[in-house]
Amino acid sequence: MPAVTETLETVQSVTDSGYKWGFETEIEMEFAPKGLNEDIVRFISRKKDEPAWLLDWRLKAFAIWKKMEEPTWAAVKYPPIDYQDSYYYAAPVQKAKPKSLDEVDPELLKTYAKLGIPLKEQAILAGVEGAGESPADSGRMPIAVDAVFDSVSVATSYKERLAKDGIIFCSISEAVHEHPELVRQYLGSVVPQGDNFYAALNSAVFTDGSFVYIPKGVRCPMELSTYFRINAKSTGQFERTLIIADERSHVSYLEGCTAPMRDENQLHAAVVELVALDDATIKYSTVQNWYPGDAEGRGGIYNFVTKRGACRGARSKISWTQVETGSAITWKYPSCILQGDDSVGEFYSVAITNNRQQADTGTKMFHIGKNTRSTIVSKGISAGKGQNTYRGLVKISPKAHGARNFTQCDSLLIGDQCGAHTVPYIENRCMTAKVEHEATTSRIAEDQLFYCRQRGLNEEEAVGMIVNGFAREVLKELPMEFAVEAQKLLQISLEGSVG
């Protein structure tokens, strides 16, 4: 018997190539019928007890989506997706509010523990009454967490503490009820329903996500973060996040994503909209660790995401930082619309593709206001049979006098069966604007590996160290608490890529 267990564990550790988040939580779930039609859209809207305007908004999106075609311009290959063969609503069955950790569904608790969410946050997330909302008694810097489990947000922590500063941090479903004026004003104002195929799909069927509003002049006292978790089988996740930073406010927000290991491909089509008014700053960081599929390319998440920020106000700033290690396919281009004069857009990205993973990712910087500035630093790492494409657009309108962009795209290849591609588009229609682009492609040099190994590091540690060095410029942009986690993740993602 022990021998069998041992063998099973060995097999598992070989096949999952280090993906430690591949477990499944057994918990009572409620599903909408499989498939996608107007009734499903109505079902979701009814489940969430939504006002009529939002249902109309969804139905309009659905009508647009039906007429659209899936984009094919990205450098990714996958079999046709059957949009009718998926659940569009899956939620853990809600019980009465638990009184202590003991009453919380232990499976849900285990999930949070495995995701590395500290226990204190776990209690709050699980909705335990009176679980310290005051950050003072925890000793370390608290992090406010929203946890989205399949289709719904299960809990948000530190809400009351944040409310003291007038900050709103809640699920978008809750915001629809509690702050309809804000949601109505901003939803779809950055990414309209018909923006693209996946955004239209998301607009029709989005089920939850996070909502943040930072009032004028407020600096958010803690990191806000959302953990997205796909758990149920044959379920797509369509979350919608909306962050509004009012004048002179400041917020740093982080999202983390994981999913169980399955043979099937699951669709994740999220939309994130950011709005920064005069002198406001939004820092949005992502550690994307969706299940990437196995070494043969079976299973894994299709990550088709639209993220866009509008720097509406003068001197506003939006900074995207992403560490993309997971997903079978990544299709995402976090962008900035630099409307306000002197506004700033930044994009820092590390994308790893190992085994059969494919990533087509980059950014778009639209320079509209005067003296707008953007910085793009992209680090692509390809290993195994991974394919990694940087696709970026820098567009400068005729009125964006004095606009400046600097783009740096570096690719690192590990092994000789992977690929790295750089596709920078530049449309500059302003004489006084300056656009700079630098690109490099390199391999991990044999002498670097040997040097590390001569000092006692094994091959994987050596590669991890060199790759982390390569990605340093981006990693240093992450909030400190997450930089360490991201570094480990880079190393784990490359396990089995050498030797």
Burial status of residue 386 (CB atoms within 10 A of its CB: 0-12, 13-18, 19 or more)? buried
Between 375 and 448, name the residue whose CB sits nearer to other proteins: 448
Rounded CA gap, 142 and 134, in Å?
A: 9
The distance of closest approach from Cβ of residue 461 to other proteins in the complex, given in angstroms and rounded to an integer, is 7
Total residue length of the chain: 499
Please give the Cα distance from 373 to 341 (Å, whole number).
Answer: 10
Name which of 131 and 474 has its Cβ closer to other proteins.
474
Nearer of residues 309 and 464 to other proteins, judged by Cβ: 464
Rounded to the nearest whole angstrom, what is the least distance from the CB of residue 473 to other proteins in the complex?
A: 7
Q: Which residue, 372 or 497, is less far from other proteins as judged by CB?
A: 497
List the one residue from 21, 284, 390, 470 that touches other proteins (CB under 8 A).
Answer: 470
Segment 213-252, which members bind other proteins (CB under 8 A)? none
User: Which residue is associated with the tokens 């004048």?
Assistant: 247
Min dist. Cβ of residue 350 to other proteins (A): 11
Least distance to other proteins, CB of residue 458, Å: 5
Answer yes or no: are the C-beta atoms of 466 and 431 closer than 8 Å: no
3-class secondary structure, 231? coil
CB 451 to other proteins: min, Å? 4
- Of 75, 468, 496, 498, the residue at the interface with other proteins (CB under 8 A) is 468
Query: In sequence order, what E strands does 107-239 have?
Result: 143-149, 152-156, 168-171, 210-214, 223-229
In the complex, least distance from residue 448 CB atom to other proteins, rounded to whole angstroms:
6
3-state secondary structure of 404: strand
* Among residues 439, 469, 484, 488, the one that binds other proteins under rule CB under 8 A: 469
**Which residues within the stretch 403-462 sit at the binding site for other proteins (CB under 8 A)?**
445-448, 450-459, 461
Structure tokens at 438: 């630098």
Q: Which is nearer to other proteins, 78 or 451 (CB)?
A: 451
- Contact pick of 465, 485, 491, 498 for other proteins (by CB under 8 A): 465
| Residue 49 to residues 54, 245, 329, 451, Cα–Cα distance (Å) | 10, 27, 34, 62
Question: What is the Cα–Cα distance from 226 to 228, expressed in whole angstroms?
Answer: 6
- For other proteins, which residue of 179, 472, 485, 498 counts as binding (CB under 8 A)? 472
Residue 466 CB, shortest distance to other proteins, in Å, is 6
| Footprint of other proteins on 137-166 (CB under 8 A) | none
| C-beta closer to other proteins: residue 425 or 450 | 450
- Cβ-based nearer residue to other proteins, 40 or 352: 352
**Exposure b/e, 327-362, CB count within 10 A at least 16 = b:** bbbbbbbbbbbbbbbbbbbbbbbbbbbbbbbbbbbb
The label of the residue with tokens 């793009």 reads 376
Q: State in angstroms the smallest separation of the CB of 248 from other proteins.
A: 34
The nearest distance, CB 278 to other proteins, in angstroms, is: 36
| Chain-centre distance for alpha carbon 366 | 21
> Of 244 and 474, which has the nearer Cβ to other proteins?
474
Nearer to other proteins, 336 or 350 (CB): 350
Q: Quick one: which of 466, 478, 483, 489 contacts other proteins (CB under 8 A)?
A: 466
# chain residues binding other proteins, by CB under 8 A: 23
C-alpha dist (Å) from residue 365 to 115, 216, 337: 33, 26, 6
Q: What are phi and psi of 211, to 5 degrees?
A: -130, 135
28 vs 461, beta carbon nearer other proteins = 461
Q: Tell me the closest approach of the beta carbon of residue 498 to other proteins, in angstroms.
A: 12
Give the separation between CA 28 and CA 34, rounded to whole angstroms.
17
Interface with other proteins (CB under 8 A): 445-448, 450-459, 461, 465-466, 468-473
